[in-house]
Amino acid sequence: MTSVPGRRSSTFTRLLRHGFTHPAAAERLLDLPEMAPVRTDSVLLDALGATADPDLALRGLVRLVEAQQPDERQVLLDTLLSAKPLRDRLLGVLGASEALGDHLARHPHDWQALVMYEASDLHPGVDDFERGLAEATDPVALRVAYRRCLLSIAARDVCGTTDVAQTAAELADLATATLRAALAIARTDAPEDSAACRLAVIAMGKCGGHELNYVSDVDVIFVGEQVSESVDESTAVKAATRLASHLMRICSETTVEGAIWPVDANLRPEGRNGPLVRTLSSHLAYYQRWAKTWEFQALLKARPVAGDPELGAEYVEAVSPLVWQAAERENFVPDVQKMRRRVVDNIPAAHIDRELKLGPGGLRDVEFAVQLLQLVHGRTDPTLRSGSTLEALRALAAGGYVGRADAAQLGEAYRFLRSMEHRIQLYRLRRTHLVPEGEEDLRRLGRSLGLRADPVAELDKEWRRHGSVVRRLHEKLFYRPLLDAVAQLAPGETRLSTQAARQRLEALGYADPAAALRHLEALSSGVSRKAAIQRTLLPVLLGWFADSADPDAGLLGFRQVSDALGKTPWYLRLLRDEGAAAENLARVLSAGRLAPDLLLRAPEAVALLGDPEGLKPRGRDHLEQEVLAAVGRADGAEAAVASARAVRRRELFRTAAADLIGSYGTEENPAGHDPRTLVDRVGNAVTDLNAATIAGALRAVVRERWGDELPTRFAVIGMGRFGGHELSYGSDADVLFVHEPRDGGDEHEAAQAAATVVAEMRRLLQLPSSDPPLLIDADLRPEGRNGPLVRTLASYAAYYRRWSLVWESQALLRAEPMAGDAELGARFIELVDPLRYPADGLGEEEVREIRRLKARMETERLPRGADPTLHAKLGRGGLSDVEWTVQLLQMRHGCSEPGLRTTRTRTALAAARDAGLLSPDDAEILDDAWVLATRVRNGVMLVRGRAGDTFPSEAKELAAVGRYLGHGQGHVGEMVDEYRRATRRARAVVERLFYGA
């Protein structure tokens, strides 16, 4: 058809104004002869422009008109022109759903199904949908009838006649009617099976909760029984299984009309590995003995929908008491939280930012939280036992379990997110929860939700806003009402009863809910600004505490710190305004005893947690400078060393806090840091800190007794883990003391001065105080405990030349100057290098002696009753095994391989690998075991506040060590198995490399 250029320009402009994005293509469609009424009628053009996608709506309308018989086209167009409700519904569907447009093109008479729903207050139920499906006697006819009914639901939805909750309920009712129709077809196809059994279909998930999506698996459970005692139970179950399988095929199989939806029976006992159909007694036996927490959570939505109504009612009546006892199960909340985390962990990284249902701030967050509250409080309050998320949320608000404003805000967010989900699925009737990326798709989605000015930008803004509300749902749903329970509320406001608050705290993992409530009351009661800020902080902190192995300890520690610093202006402001500070504090306070004990001795150190640089380790030069400055300001040696120990305490807290936070992860890095990085960081930080503290103590003693200069040159040599930069939190500082009289000085006076310095340093560093002591261990000196504490360099030379044993040469592998006269320390290292890296390596007799010593140590030094597979230091594949293996390589090859001349185990291990002295696989196995054993020792010290070489026996402490090692709640067994596996592999390498087996 030839069009007039002027009119074309006018039409083009009108199409753009009405929202068409492809006006040239639309113009060509309007030029078709059969579309003349649409082209010339502004009413239809306006109606097309009001749809989500005018271009899509016009294409769908052209296909529908073309599919009509010639005498039917005018009827359709006349009806569209004269009947506004029908016009809005039909064009609304065509502009929102390409798939339903395809259906209407295949079945052009189905548009008339919309005529019967013109009354705006007509909301069909199951009976109406059953009538709509009644004539379908085979699977293909059922699919066509299902799409016809779906067309009517979508029409009311896109026109706003129904809200999202009503739409979801209608979709669930349609699913119910469809399951009944499919079962009827299955029974007709197998009358002998139908006669042999009773079969009940129990809807689960969204169908059971009356909140189904457009395209979703329909979750079901099948229950079968005998029709009478004359029928064998096994026969009845087999017949019921055949009926259930046939029903599933009818709904799930794809034909030219597509599938209806998959019927998913994997929520049944034992999942896909269990029988498809069980008797009621078999279901109950499973739930009473074997069911996991998530299965009871799923049963919360169970609803009989098809088959034998009496059997369905019996099933729900029987399992309901079990559902409402689930919150009393051990590890109830951790199980629910673990399931939620598992869902998030399984989202592909490329999708997580677009995942509307499963991602953070998505629909599943709301549903899980509401269900958790239902299971906790529904035990005693039957009003909460609804399968619908929104109905349950309203009931929680009405009962005072959730603040009314919070429930309204969360309900609004849930409705918006569900609306997005519905419209995304409606477009092509595909099961997806991903927000589209294309501009055109986003524009259609935004317009379908009523966002017209700038649909793409407005959609993104609204989605992010509602997602942010949902991300705060733990604060909104779980913890805020706990504060209301202990606070004075305005008249007429509801709040949790004390009993309900205790139940919630207990369910969330607090072992002493009564004490927790007292802490909350003490922290948040009153009208002061301090109490107001605490009421803002506590809901979030309570969630972080509950996510730890010891929530009670976290809350108690927070109260103690707040009592100590509550009047300090910066403290609460820091926690309120610096989000990282509050989370870091919560993690530190609930992770064990060491870090909180250090913090409570000087609570002002909490400021470190809010400083971006606060958790970074400080180098030895910086530490030594600060320590020596503090010593210089002090009055007397005791005060000076006390100042040095105070710096050490603060820095130990910094190191421990950084270690804990790095292990548990942050919002930016949820997985935490690499364990090797954490081990090296702790070892270096504690070593540098102890070296600086010893330097400060040395300066303090010398200044008090001799002024600026000691009568002898004096150096402290680090040994063992101290010299290896591998100290853990509970390690002693192994040292050797060496001195050398100054030129012209009296040797006796020099010796006395050196001995006095050593004795006084050790005394001052161990004085009882609020600061942890620093124990100085000099047992690795010549002659051991029987030898003098300090020797001259010449004395060391004489001893090593005449009397030194091979184990002493091995111990000297870790020797490194740590404090005092640097030049004297360097000459000591020159003295011992030939001993620890012998020019000709080790002879066979020396190798045998080292092996004998190691074997003797394994049999004599392992504590009685200790499990040799779990002792981190002396056990199989533990620290001693790895270190002695590396040290043997160092002594045999250190003279010829410069890389082996190091005091650090991991550095030497890497050098031995690079030199070809052991394979990369063996090096990795030994390194993994050494790092893991070191982290176990660090974790035990952090959790218990005292050193230990084995896993704790107390369950809560063991769980806390597990969290430190990266294992979530309920995975303690996996942690122990992982340790045994890593050390068993390491021991096999040690047997080959060290013992020559």
Residue 216 phi, psi (nearest 5): -155, 150
Contact 435, 463 (CB under 8 A): yes
Predicted confidence (pLDDT) per residue in 601-611, tens digit: 888 899 998 88
Average pLDDT score over residue span 682-698: 97
Residue 197 phi, psi (nearest 5): -150, 160
Predicted confidence (pLDDT) per residue in 283-294, tens digit: 999 999 999 888
Contacts made by residues 327-332, CB under 8 angstroms, sequence distance 24+:
327/375, 327/376, 327/379, 327/503, 327/507, 328/379, 329/293, 329/296, 331/293, 331/969, 331/970, 332/293, 332/375, 332/507
Question: Hey, what are 961's tokens?
Answer: 């060590």
Say what percent of the chain tops pLDDT 70: 93
**Residue 648 to residues 597, 623, 662, 682, 690, Cα–Cα distance (Å):** 14, 9, 21, 14, 7
Contact 816, 837 (CB under 8 A): no
pLDDT at 490 over 70: no
Predicted confidence (pLDDT) per residue in 323-351, tens digit: 998 877 777 766 776 776 677 677 777 77
pLDDT at 187 over 90: yes
Residue 278 phi, psi (nearest 5): -130, 160
Helix (H, G, I), strand (E, B) or coil at 714: strand
Model pLDDT, residue 46: 87
Q: Which of 570-584, 614-628, 818-832 has the lowest mean pLDDT?
A: 570-584
Predicted confidence (pLDDT) per residue in 844-889, tens digit: 999 999 999 999 988 888 888 889 999 999 999 999 999 999 999 9
In whole angstroms, give the CA distance from residue 211 to residue 366. 14
Question: Hey, what are 345's tokens?
Answer: 């962990």
Residue 708: other Cβ atoms inside 10 A: 6
Give, in degrees to the nearest 5, the angle at Cα 879 between 878 and 880.
95
Q: pLDDT class for 651, splitting at 50, 70, 90?
A: very high
Among 588, 519, 594, which Cα is nearest to 560's?
A: 519
Contact 553, 589 (CB under 8 A): yes
Contact 995, 851 (CB under 8 A): yes
Among 930, 696, 637, which Cα is nearest to 818's?
A: 696
Model pLDDT, residue 362: 87
Give, in degrees to the nearest 5, the angle at Cα 214 between 209 and 220.
45
Contact 734, 690 (CB under 8 A): no
3-state secondary structure 863-886: CCCCCCCCCCCCCCCCHHHHHHHH
Highest-pLDDT range among 123-127, 408-412, 967-971: 408-412
Average pLDDT score over residue span 534-541: 80
Angle between helices 551-565 and 579-589 (to 10 degrees): 120
In whole angstroms, give the CA distance from residue 352 to residue 435. 10
Q: CA torsion, points 310, 315, 318, 321, in degrees to nearest 10? A: -120
Predicted confidence (pLDDT) per residue in 906-950, tens digit: 999 999 999 999 999 999 999 999 999 999 999 999 999 999 999
Contact 987, 880 (CB under 8 A): no
Predicted confidence (pLDDT) per residue in 198-232, tens digit: 999 999 999 999 999 999 899 999 999 999 888 89
Average pLDDT score over residue span 962-991: 90
Please name the helix (run of DSSP H) or strand (run of DSSP E) that holds residue 400, with its range, or none. Answer: none
Model pLDDT, residue 120: 39
Please name the helix (run of DSSP H) or strand (run of DSSP E) that holds residue 739, with its range, or none. Answer: strand 733-741
- DSSP label at 355? B
Question: Hey, what are 472's tokens?
Answer: 């705060």
pLDDT at 1 over 50: no
Pairing of strands 733-741, 712-718: antiparallel
Predicted confidence (pLDDT) per residue in 791-810, tens digit: 999 999 999 999 989 999 99
**Between 588 and 524, residue with greater pLDDT:** 588
Predicted confidence (pLDDT) per residue in 838-851, tens digit: 998 898 999 999 99
pLDDT at 477 over 70: no
Question: Hey, what are 142's tokens?
Answer: 């059922």
Helix (H, G, I), strand (E, B) or coil at 3: coil
Q: pLDDT class for 129, splitting at 50, 70, 90?
A: very high
pLDDT at 188 over 90: yes
Model pLDDT, residue 378: 87
pLDDT at 647 over 60: yes
Residue 742: other Cβ atoms inside 10 A: 13
pLDDT at 458 over 80: yes
Average pLDDT score over residue span 308-324: 96
**Residue 187 to residues 192, 608, 864, Cα–Cα distance (Å):** 8, 71, 71
Question: Hey, what are 15's tokens?
Answer: 């199409």
Pairing of strands 712-718, 277-278: unpaired
Residue 782 phi, psi (nearest 5): -55, 135
Highest-pLDDT range among 114-118, 589-593, 641-645: 641-645
In whole angstroms, give the CA distance from residue 464 to residue 488. 34
Question: Hey, what are 237's tokens?
Answer: 């179950």
Question: Hey, what are 690's tokens?
Answer: 């102890």
In whole angstroms, give the CA distance from residue 16 to residue 11. 9
Q: CA torsion, points 71, 73, 76, 78, in degrees to nearest 10? A: -80
**Residue 616 to residues 288, 609, 611, 654, Cα–Cα distance (Å):** 51, 10, 10, 8
Model pLDDT, residue 672: 54
